[in-house]
């Protein structure tokens, strides 16, 4: 057996365990090994559409599995190997704006997909196709930020440059960054859009020093048309990275390129930030996203219910929205739990059912950290934290790890890339896949639903 076949033979069972049955049957089971050149495994896919979805959602997961199977870092490329195949099944897997335009542009051009898609693109973290302007719920609390983001997307570099969006966690800042990027990809396919978290920017900077590739780093960040930087508050106390961002800003701004940044606080409140960089951040438009009011929270719930095909009564919608005030992730998570329980029991969603399912609603802990979640999950499943964050992939361990990722995403303000770092440096697409799988299976497996619900209650109660 050659190395290519051996690696893929080890990957397939773990890959199947990591995704829902629908995703496996309609997509990933059709992926086959084609060639292996050095440390690059080339996989064949049956259609352009499937290739794009695998590239967006699962390449990081496949890369992790292949690297573990090979015992060394392995990169992944995708190659179209057969004629175009029917693609309707994938529309059922990714119904929420998976290919929806940011807001139907006057003349929409589809982005050309290269014959091969690298698992580690130089362009940074992949944009989430679900986050578009169409799927963003507009309200008084976010209207200024939304309008500014749309203006920037339509006319990058001409006004509001830089655009600085700030607000509490879970209010939609990251959604707007991805919406800008997705609009640009849709309407200006030749433009180079770079979305990164501040953590990714910092890691790239450190790695460039270690590998003496600073020139490549500068070229990557300073030759894009739109730079989207998430969670800029984490740059405080990092003098060297502030220096690099300052020069990157100057280069892009002087070339008329667009810069958009987000933070949980305004520039004036970011401590230990160089004055010259702070002045640059304040030189454009600073837009706040405030906590949504009751009507907005209800609108968000109705939008999610519509996307998910959930029949949500008005009294249940109001009950959830009244009790979850400040975090959209928590809001949507409560709806997921109610819908999952209704699916498991065959009961219609009602106010009595929601009260039964959500006894902890509104009793959020002052602060929940990933360490708290890891400790609770490890104790519940009789594992160690090191096993949860390590490379082993035994079935019970994988399930516990996926539950932990789901809980970190649901109960904290950690982004997908940040969660990946918590779990041993895994790719953000691995985390997305895990969260999606647990979300789907909570409505199918009673035991898993009860495990997740019990853990949420324990974590919120402080263990």
Q: What is the pLDDT of residues 145-201, one digit of tens each?
A: 999 999 999 989 988 999 999 998 778 899 999 999 999 888 888 888 999 888 888
Q: Within 13 Å of residue 72, how many CA atoms lie on the same side as its CB?
A: 5
Which contiguous run of DSSP H or E holds residue 152?
Answer: helix 143-154
Give the span between the Cα atoms of 440 and 259, in whole angstroms.
36
Q: What are phi and psi of 427, to 5 degrees?
A: -65, 150
- pLDDT score for 239: 86
- pLDDT score for 354: 92
pTM exceeds 0.85: no
Contact indicator for 416, 432 with CB cutoff of 8 Å: yes
Give the span between the Cα atoms of 179 and 128, in whole angstroms.
9
Two structure tokens written together for 416: 């997908």
Strands 163-167 and 258-263 come out as parallel
Give the span between the Cα atoms of 447 and 451, in whole angstroms.
6
Measured on CA atoms in the order 458, 353, 339, 412, is the torsion positive or negative?
Answer: negative
Please count the other Cβ atoms lying within 10 Å of the Cβ belonging to residue 338: 25
- Give the 3-state secondary structure percentages of the chain, helix then strand then coil, rounded to 5: 55, 10, 35
Q: How many residues does the chain have?
A: 463
b/e per residue, 442-457, with b = 16+ CB within 10 A? Answer: bbebeebbebbbebbe
Two structure tokens written together for 288: 């706040």
Contacts of 245 (CB under 8 A, 6+ apart): 201, 229, 235, 277
Beta strands in 214-284 (DSSP E): 226-230, 258-263
Give the span between the Cα atoms of 417 and 421, in whole angstroms.
6
- pLDDT score for 156: 92
End-to-end Cα spacing for the chain = 49
Strands 285-289 and 32-37 come out as unpaired
Q: At 105, is the secondary structure helix, strand, or coil?
A: coil
Contact indicator for 372, 411 with CB cutoff of 8 Å: no
Domains parsed from the chain with CATH numbers: 3-118 (3.30.300.180), 143-289 (3.40.50.300), 294-357 (1.10.8.60), 370-460 (1.10.1750.10)
Give the span between the Cα atoms of 77 and 120, in whole angstroms.
9
- pLDDT score for 57: 77
Q: What are the average pLDDT values for consecutive 10-residue runs of the chain, which has 463 residues?
A: 84 82 76 86 78 77 87 85 38 31 33 30 62 87 92 90 90 92 87 88 86 86 92 86 92 94 92 90 92 87 87 93 82 90 92 89 69 93 92 85 92 81 84 87 88 88 66
Residue 398 burial class via C-beta count within 10 angstroms: exposed 0-12, middle 13-18, buried 19 and up: middle
Which contiguous run of DSSP H or E holds residue 36?
Answer: strand 32-37
Q: At 150, is the secondary structure helix, strand, or coil?
A: helix
C-alpha dist (Å) from residue 31 to 2, 43, 80, 456 = 18, 6, 10, 36
Radius of gyration from C-alpha coordinates of the chain: 22
């Amino acid at each position: 057996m050659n190395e290519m076949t051996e690696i893929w033979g080890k990957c397939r069972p773990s890959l199947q365990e990591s995704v829902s049955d629908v995703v496996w049957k309609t997509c990933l089971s059709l992926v086959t090994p084609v060639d292996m050149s050095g440390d690059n495994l080339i996989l064949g896919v049956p259609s352009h559409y499937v290739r794009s979805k695998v590239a967006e959602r699962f390449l990081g997961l496949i890369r992790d599995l292949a690297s573990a199977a090979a015992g060394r870092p392995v990169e992944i490329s995708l190659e179209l190997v057969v004629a175009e195949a029917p693609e309707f099944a994938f529309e059922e897997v990714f119904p929420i704006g998976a290919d929806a335009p940011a807001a139907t542009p006057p003349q929409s051009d589809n982005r050309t997909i290269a014959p091969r898609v690298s698992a580690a693109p130089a362009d940074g973290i992949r944009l989430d196709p679900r986050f578009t302007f169409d799927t963003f719920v507009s309200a008084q609390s976010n209207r200024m930020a939304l309008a500014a983001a749309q203006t920037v997307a339509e006319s990058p570099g001409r006004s509001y440059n830089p655009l600085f969006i700030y607000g509490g966690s879970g209010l939609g800042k990251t959604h707007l960054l991805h919406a800008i990027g997705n609009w640009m990809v849709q309407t200006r396919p030749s433009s180079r859009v770079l979305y990164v978290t501040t953590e990714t920017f910092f890691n790239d900077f450190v790695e460039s020093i270690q590998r003496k590739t600073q020139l490549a780093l500068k070229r990557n960040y300073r030759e894009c048309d739109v730079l989207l930087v998430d969670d800029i508050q984490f740059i405080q106390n990092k003098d060297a990275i502030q220096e690099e961002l300052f020069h990157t800003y100057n280069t892009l701004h002087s070339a008329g390129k667009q810069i958009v940044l987000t933070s949980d606080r305004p520039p004036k409140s970011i401590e230990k930030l160089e004055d010259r960089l702070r002045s640059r951040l304040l030189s454009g438009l600073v837009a706040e996203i405030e906590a949504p009011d009751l009507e907005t929270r209800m609108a968000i719930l109705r939008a999610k219910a519509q996307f998910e095909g959930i029949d949500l009564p008005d009294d249940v919608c109001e009950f959830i929205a009244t009790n979850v005030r400040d975090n959209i992730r928590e809001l949507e998570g409560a709806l997921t739990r109610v819908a999952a329980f209704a699916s498991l029991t065959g009961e219609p969603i009602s106010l009595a059912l929601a009260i039964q399912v959500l006894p902890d609603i509104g009793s959020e802990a002052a602060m929940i950290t990933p360490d708290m979640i890891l400790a609770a999950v490890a104790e519940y499943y009789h594992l160690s934290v090191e096993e949860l964050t390590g490379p082993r992939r035994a079935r019970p361990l994988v399930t516990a790890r996926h539950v932990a990722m789901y809980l970190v995403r649901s109960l904290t303000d950690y982004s997908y890339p940040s969660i990946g770092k918590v779990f041993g440096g895994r790719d953000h697409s691995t985390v997305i896949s895990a969260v999606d799988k647990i979300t789907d299976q909570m409505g199918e497996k009673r035991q898993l639903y009860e495990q997740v619900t019990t853990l949420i209650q324990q974590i919120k109660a402080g263990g």
